[in-house]
Amino acid sequence: MKTAHDVIVIGLGGMGSATACHLAARGHRVLGLERFGPAHNRGSSHGGSRVTRQSYFEDPAYVPLLLRSYELFEKLERDTGRDIVTLCGGLMLGRPDSRTVAGSRRSAEQWGLPHEMLDAGEVRRRFPTFTPADDEVALYEGRAGFVRPEATVTAHVQLALQAGADLRFEEPVTRWEVLPGGRGVRVHTADDVYTAGHLVVCPGAWAPRLLADLGVRFTVERQVMYWFQPEGGTAAFDPRRHPVYVWEDTGGVQVYGFPAIDGPQDGAKVAFFRKGTVCDPETIDRTVHDDEVAAMAAQLRPRIPALPGRLRKAVTCMYTTTADEHFVLARHPEHPEAVTVACGFSGHGFKFVPVVGEIAADLALHGTTEHPIALFDPLRNELRQSATEPEETTT
The residues binding ligand FAD (CB under 6 A) are 10-16, 33-36, 43-45, 47, 50-51, 172-173, 202-204, 206, 210, 223, 225, 271, 317-319, 345, 347-351
Least CB distance to ligand FAD at residue 11 (A): 3
Cα–Cα distance measured from residue 340 to residue 200, given in angstroms and rounded to the nearest whole number: 5
d(CA 354, CA 72): 6
Q: How far is the CB of 19 from ligand FAD (least distance, A)?
A: 9
CA 180 from centre of chain = 35
Q: Considering the complex, state which of residue 101 and residue 329 has its C-beta at the smaller distance from ligand FAD.
A: 329
Among residues 73 and 319, whose Cβ is nearest to ligand FAD? 319
Of 134, 126, 127, 144, the C-alpha closest to 63 is 144
The C-alpha atoms of residue 125 and residue 105 are separated, in whole angstroms, by: 21
Q: List Cα–Cα distances, 63 to 16, 39, 67, 69, 114, in angstroms.
A: 22, 27, 6, 10, 13
State the nearest-atom distance from the C-beta of 249 to ligand FAD, in Å: 18
Q: Is 232 left (phi over 0), alpha (psi -120 to 50) or beta?
A: left
Widest CA span in the chain = 68
Nearer to ligand FAD, 246 or 307 (CB): 246
Give start and end residues of each alpha helix (H) in the chain.
14-25, 63-80, 104-111, 120-126, 149-162, 207-210, 290-300, 353-366, 381-387
Q: Measured at CB, which residue is nearest to ligand FAD?
A: 13
Beta bridge partners of 88: none
CB of 347 to ligand FAD, least distance (A): 5
Residue number, 197 or 276, with CB nearest to ligand FAD = 276
Closer residue to ligand FAD (CB): 29 or 188: 188
Half-sphere exposure of 160 (CA within 13 A, CB side): 34
3-state secondary structure of 362: helix
Provide the minimum distance between the beta carbon of 121 and ligand FAD in the complex, in angstroms, as a whole number: 28
Question: Minimum distance between the CB of residue 119 and ligand FAD, rounded to whole angstroms?
Answer: 26
In whole angstroms, give the CA distance from residue 138 to residue 94.
7
Distance from C-alpha of 280 to C-alpha of 220, rounded to nearest angstrom = 6
d(CA 146, CA 125): 23
| Minimum CB distance to ligand FAD smaller for 133 or for 247 | 247
Cα–Cα distance, 97 to 136 (Å, whole number): 10
Cβ-based nearer residue to ligand FAD, 27 or 37: 37
Pairing of strands 193-201, 339-343: parallel
CB 356 to ligand FAD: min, Å: 8
Between 58 and 122, name the residue whose CB sits nearer to ligand FAD.
58
CB of 310 to ligand FAD, least distance (A): 21
Q: Give the shortest CB-137-to-ligand FAD separation in angstroms.
A: 22
Mark residue 353 as left, alpha or beta (left: phi above 0; alpha: psi -120 to 50; beta: remaining): alpha
- Least spacing, CB of residue 70 vs ligand FAD, in Å: 12
Closer to ligand FAD by CB, 234 or 346: give it. Answer: 346
Whose Cβ is closer to ligand FAD: residue 124's or residue 371's?
371
| ∠ CA 7-8-9, rounded to 5° | 120
